[in-house]
Chains A and B, each alone.
Chain A
Amino acid sequence: MASYDLIDKYLATLRAQLRWRGETEDLDSELRDHLYTAAEEQEANGLGRHDAQRAVLDRFGEPMTVSSAFASSGTKGLAVPTRSTKSSGQLAFIAALAWIMVPFGFAGSYAVERSVGEWDGPVIGLFLLGQMSLMAAASLTVVTFIGLFQRHGGLGPVGRTGIGIAALGAAAGLIGWFIYGWGTLIGVGALLIAGAMLRRGLAPRVATVMIGTAGLWAAAVGGTLWLFEAGPRDQYGDYPLVGLTSVGVGCTLLAVGLVGIGRWLWNEEPVENLIPGSATVG
C-alpha cells in the first residue's frame, strides 16, 4: 500500500481538531480511505505523488472547514471547545474540592456535638464550613453544567431543564440541613444533564454516569441504612448517620465525576487558539 506523507500530516491535524468528537479511529480510517483512494486515482491519471496529494487535499477542504462542519452537524450551535468551556473545567475542579468539604463539615459538626454535648463554637464553625462548601459546590457545579451545555452546542430541553432544577437545588442549599430538598433537586438536575450528555456522546462516559447517578446512589444508600435504622436517633427522630452517609456518597460521586469532566474540558485546545487572529467563537 502506497504511503502519502502530505495526507498523513493532514489527517494528523484533523485528528487533533476532532479529538472532542470521539470515535477518532473510525473517522481516521474512513477519511484515510477516501484520501488514499482519490490520490491513487490522481496518480493513475498521470500526476506525480506530491501533486496528486495536493489536488486531493484541495478538493477535500481545509482542516478547519472540515472540523467546523463536524462540529456544527446535528447541533444548533458549535459543539467545540472554547476558552470559556476550558475555564469551566477549572471551575469543575474547585467544585469537586468543595463537594468533598461538604460531608467533612457536616460530619465534623455532628461528631463534635456528640462529644461535647452542646451546639456551640467549633460545632457551629464546622456546620458553617459544610454549609458554605455546599453553597460553593452547588453554585460552581451549576456554572460547570452551563459550560457543558455550551461545549455540546446545546443539550436540548432536557439539558436546560436539568440546569434549571440544579440551580433550584443550589438555592435550596441555603437550608443546609434540608438534605432531602437540595439533595433531590441537585441529583435530579444532574441526572437530566448527564442523560442529555450521554445522548450526544462527547463527554467521558464514566465521569458523566457518576455525576448523573450520584443522587440515585445517595438515595439508595440512605434508604437502605434507614431501613436498618443505622446509628442513634436524634431528638427529632431522625438518623443523622444515615443522612451523613448518604450525603457523603452523593458528594464523593459528584466530586469524582466533576474531576473527570474537568480534566476533559481543561485538556482540550480551545478553537480560538486554532484560528489565527480569532478572539471569540460565535
Chain B
Amino acid sequence: MSGQALKGHLDLLILAVVAGDPAHGYAVIEGLRSRSGDVFDLPEGTVYPALHRLEKSGLLRSEWSIVGGRRRRTYQLTKKGERSLSAEWHKWDNFSTAVAKVLGGTPWPATT
C-alpha cells in the first residue's frame, strides 16, 4: 500500500495497535506490519512523528524504562485515546461497509 494512502489512516492504525498492550515504537511498527499481513510498509522512521503527535494531543502517553541497557520509550492509550479510537473505528466501519456494499454490486473490472 502506498505510503500516502496509509498516512491518512495512520493515527487510527497506531491507536488500534497500542490499544492491545503498551508498546514501544518498534513493536508498534511490527504490529502494523504483521497485523496487515505485510501490506502496510511505511519507512519506519516516519511513524515516530505520528507517535509524538498523538502523545502531544493527549491520545497516547509514554513512559521510559531501561531494557537491555538501553532507554526504551513505551506508549499506551489514554482515556481520551480510547474514546477517539472507538469513535474513529465506528466511522471507518460505517465507511468500509458502505464501500463494500457499493462495490459488491459491481462486476469485477477487466484488466486486459
Contact surface of A with B, Cβ cutoff 8 Å: 1, 14, 26-27, 29-34, 36-38, 59-62, 65-66, 69-70, 72-74
Contacts and interface: CB of A to CB of B under 8 A. Distances in A.
A66 B45 contact: yes
Interface string B42-56: 011110111011001
A65 B25 contact: no
- 3 closest pairs, A vs B, by CB? A61-B43, A66-B45, A73-B49
B24 interface: yes
Interface string B5-18: 00000000000000
Nearest to B26: A34
B72 A33 contact: yes
B101 interface: no
B68 interface: yes
- Majority secondary structure of chain B interface residues (helix, strand, loop or mixed): helix
Contacts of A33: 24-26, 67, 70-73
A37 B23 CA distance: 14
Nearest to B56: A74
A31 B56 contact: no
Contacts of A73: 49-50, 52-53
A60 B56 contact: no
Interface residues of B, number: 22
A61 B25 contact: no
Contacts of A37: 26
A60 to B, nearest CB: 5
Contacts of A59: 43-44
Contact of A38 (B26, B46, B53): B26
A29 B70 CA distance: 8
B69 interface: yes
Interface of B: 24-26, 29, 43-46, 48-50, 52-53, 56, 64, 67-73
Residue of A1, A29, A34 ringed by the most chain B CB atoms within 10 A: A34
22 contacts: A1-B70, A14-B45, A26-B64, A26-B73, A29-B73, A30-B25, A31-B45, A31-B48, A33-B70, A36-B70, A38-B26, A59-B44, A61-B46, A65-B45, A65-B46, A66-B46, A69-B48, A69-B49, A70-B52, A73-B52, A73-B53, A74-B56
A199 to B, nearest CB: 10
Contacts of A66: 43, 45-46, 48
B46 A30 contact: no
A148 B49 CA distance: 22
B43 A32 contact: no
A61 B49 CA distance: 13
B87 to A, nearest CB: 20
B51 to A, nearest CB: 9
A16 B64 CA distance: 23
B12 to A, nearest CB: 16
Nearest to A34: B26
A155 B88 CA distance: 28
Contacts of A72: 49
